[in-house]
Amino acid sequence: MTTRADAPAGDNPELDLFDATGRLGRTAIAWLREHTLSALSALGASGEVRVRIVGDQEMALAHERYSGVSGTTDVLTFDLRDGQGDGPLDTDLLVCFDEASRRADELGHGVERELLLYIVHGVLHCLGHNDTDEASSARMHAEEDRVLQTIGVGAVYQPGRSKAGGGS
**Residue-wise pLDDT tens digits, 31-84:** 999 999 999 999 999 999 999 999 999 999 999 999 999 999 999 999 999 766
Is residue 140 pLDDT above 60, yes or no?
yes
Distance of CA 104 to the CA centre of its chain: 14
Mean pLDDT value of segment 159-168: 50
Q: Which CATH superfamily is domain 3-150 in?
A: Metalloproteases ("zincins"), catalytic domain (3.40.390.30)
- Rounded to two decimals, what is the model's pTM? 0.88
Count Cβ atoms within 10 A of the Cβ of residue 24 and give its class: 0-12 exposed, 13-18 middle, 19 or more buried. Answer: buried
Domain map (residue ranges) of the chain: 3-150
Question: What is the Cα–Cα distance from 10 to 128, expressed in whole angstroms?
Answer: 26
